[in-house]
Amino acid sequence: MHDLSPSNSRGRPGRWPASVEWRAETELVPYARALDEMTARNAAIHQRTADELIWLLEHPPVYTAGTSAAEAELLDPRFEVVRAGRGGRYTYHGPGQRVGYVLLDLTRRARDVAGFVHALEGWVIEALASFGVKAWRAQGRVGIWTRDLAGAEAKIGAIGVRVRRWVTMHGFAVNLSPDLSHFAGIVPCGLPEFGVTSLAALGLEVSAAQWDAALLAAGPAFLAALERPCPDACAVPGLSGDNA
């Protein structure tokens, strides 16, 4: 169920740190505009002239290319294609897919990039669990995985991160109710042997507002996880970095 109301939500909800802005858009935001704003905010956070930011939104249909994207994986450029600068390969964004851009200063935390990616995955997995969806990480395969109605393993969420001067940008995208046929224009994340699914395809009607609320409820645990180094040998898929 795709449900966007006509107004935006910004601020710092209860139990949310005062230093981290929570912004939930309720209208589609063009990808290029979001990328420009995210890049500027990343720099401002590094300079300590702006607060950190969790930014939830949806885009008009677009294909984005990460730093590892191969041209052969762009099968049908039916939508705009944007070089995103994040780690990872090709992915699709569009209405019904909720994107979370996470801009946090890791110098204020454990300064552990692998731990950040691990915690980000865990945040999405916990939010999905609140709707009764069992999801997991898969070794060597970027993304968040579950079973589709046929029992096959399928991707329900994408992860792609960049870290500049220890400030994170980009983040995750979770399929609430997008048009799954739009993924056919690419090889999602370079994994042709696996399909994609959504909460709607699993028979669940979850609005953007409901999804955002689930993320907010799981948010304190996500932030707490960033205070300690990654507990094991975390892989860092979907990452691009230029720290100094």
Alpha carbons 86 and 237: distance in angstroms, whole number? 11
The predicted model scores a pTM of 0.90
> Other C-beta atoms within 10 Å of 70: how many?
11
149 φ, ψ (degrees, to nearest 5): -65, -20
- Residue 11 to residue 238: CA distance in whole angstroms: 29
CB 120 within 8 A of CB 172: yes
| Six-digit token string for 173 | 């995208």
**List of E strands, the chain:** 9-11, 20-24, 52-57, 62-65, 80-83, 90-93, 97-103, 136-138, 141-147, 153-164, 167-175, 195-196, 239-242
Question: What residues contact residue 121 under an 8 Å CB cut-off, 6+ apart?
Answer: 137, 144, 159, 172
DSSP SS3 for 138: strand
Residue ranges of domains in the chain: 20-242
Catalytic residues: 189
Reading the block at residue 44, the tokens are 């401002």
Residues with Cβ within 8 Å of residue 224, at least 6 apart in sequence: none
Q: How far apart are alpha carbons 114 and 227 in whole angstroms?
A: 13
Give the model's pLDDT for residue 44. 98
Q: Which helix (H) or strand (E) holds 122?
A: helix 113-129
Determine contact, residues 56/98, Cβ cutoff 8 Å.
yes
> What does the alpha-carbon distance between residue 233 and residue 244 come to, in Å, rounded to a whole number?
23
Q: What is the fold of 20-242?
A: BirA Bifunctional Protein; domain 2 (3.30.930)
pLDDT means per 10 residues in the chain (244 residues)? 45 80 97 96 98 98 91 94 88 97 96 93 98 94 93 95 95 97 88 90 98 97 92 55 45
